[in-house]
Amino acid sequence: MLTLASKLKRDDGGRTGRASGASDSTHRVSIRDRLLTKEVAELETNLPSTCKASFPDEDKLHHFQLAVSPDEGYYQSGRFQFEIDVPEAYNMVPPKVRCLTRIWHPNITENGEICLSLLREHSIDGTGWAPTRTLKDVVWGLNSLFTDLLNFDDPLNIDAAEHHLRDKEDFRNKVQDYIKHYAR
């Protein structure tokens, strides 16, 4: 799975110093890619049972998809796809995350924008992104949006939150309708 790790070892070729005449830039691997090699390996052993990560190109660990299939709550029986892009400036800036599945959720817009404090580069409450956070935090945060981090008090999708406050049963029905049409 971790072909980037083997690629890094192959590119290093066991070098202890620079080859004469070799350009340093042809063998340079970004800090992001080195971090991702370690973090993806850790993620594979600590992935929630309701999540599955997939890498369209195993040589590009900075771009992957995450499927979340909640096993409880309003979103049970749905399968929600997220696209995660890790910028070159990672881990100083958070990954960019978008929900690819149309969803009726107070913290996710129908266009895929996500309100999750740890994905904020700057946060007033101090819960935003920090260089000490990892992909594991992002995955567990996305997974928790369907259970304990489901937030109706500070919504991004105000219509969904107000719908829940007005009529919880009708909200549940609309969520199930979205799951039936978009999240199977």
Q: Which active-site residues does the annotation give? A: 115
65 SS3 class: strand
Q: Are strands 63-68 and 80-85 parallel, antiparallel or unpaired?
A: antiparallel
**Alpha helices (H) along the chain:** 3-12, 31-45, 135-144, 158-166, 168-182
The Cα–Cα gap between 173 and 74 comes to 9
Residue 130 near residue 121 (C-beta atoms within 8 A): no
Q: How many CB atoms lie within 10 A of CB 92?
A: 13
